[in-house]
């Protein structure tokens, strides 16, 4: 079982580059799954991610104002630190599957 990632409304708004009122509207319309802990909404990250991707406007805001603006910076530019393709072992399926 994978561990659930929970976000507050403000964290989700910053991460996806949208207004917190937009998140609250989605909660009201039951488009995002959440739990309430100590009177605060804790949003399911996977639910927020799927919700953000089903609308072009939200998807574009995430790419321009949210976490998407940093994706190019995550790529390894220096070949010295990139893994050598020869040193990466390829996983082979167990023999009973072939």
Instruction: Dump pLDDT digits (tens) for 27-83.
Output: 999 999 999 999 999 999 999 988 988 888 888 888 888 877 777 666 666 666 666
Contacts 24+ apart (CB under 8 A), 25-32: 26/51
pTM check: above 0.75: no
Question: Phi, psi at residue 87, to the nearest 5°?
Answer: -90, -10
In the chain, where are the structural domains located?
A: 1-67
Determine contact, residues 42/34, Cβ cutoff 8 Å.
Answer: yes
């Amino acid at each position: 079982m994978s561990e659930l990632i929970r976000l507050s409304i403000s964290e989700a708004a910053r991460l996806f580059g949208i207004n917190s009122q937009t998140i609250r509207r989605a909660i009201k319309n039951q488009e995002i799954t959440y739990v309430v802990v100590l009177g605060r909404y804790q949003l399911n990250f996977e639910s927020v991610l799927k919700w953000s991707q089903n609308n072009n406007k939200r998807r574009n805001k995430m790419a321009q104002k949210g976490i998407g603006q940093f994706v190019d910076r995550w790529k390894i530019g220096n070949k010295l630190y990139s893994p050598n393709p020869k040193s990466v072992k390829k996983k082979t399926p167990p023999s009973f599957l072939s």
